[in-house]
């Protein structure tokens, strides 16, 4: 529950909403790590930003109110990888 609260607080700090297509080269030894480094070096501007799939861009702009609804699976399943849903209003 603490992580959910932290995420909700983070949404309040979002200044920008931008589309992004990850540049992942799967022929590299550590493709995700290298993609993260490239992103930090060339695209990240230090501002709290929600990066979204370009197909979602028509639903968001910098004035879109963000909300978050945690989902609980029936049967008590646990998601260790932190999947969440961001809704647009």
For residue 2, pLDDT beyond 80:
no
Rounded to whole angstroms, the Cα distance separating 64 from 87 reads 10
Q: At 6, is the pLDDT very low, low, confident or very high (cuts 50, 70, 90)?
A: confident
pLDDT of residue 30: 93
Residues 6+ apart with CB under 8 A from 1: none
* Residue pLDDT, tens place only, 11-60: 888 888 888 888 889 999 999 999 999 989 988 888 888 888 888 877 77
CA dist 46 and 26 (Å) reads 27
pLDDT score for 80? 56
């Amino acid at each position: 529950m603490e992580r959910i609260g932290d995420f909700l607080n983070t949404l309040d700090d979002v200044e920008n909403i931008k589309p992004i297509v990850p540049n992942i080269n799967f022929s590299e030894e550590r493709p995700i790590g290298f993609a993260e480094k490239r992103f930090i070096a060339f695209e990240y501007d230090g501002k709290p930003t929600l990066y979204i799939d370009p197909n979602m861009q028509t639903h968001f702009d910098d004035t879109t109110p963000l909300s978050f609804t945690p989902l609980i699976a029936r049967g008590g399943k646990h998601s260790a990888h932190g999947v969440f849903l961001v809704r647009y209003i």
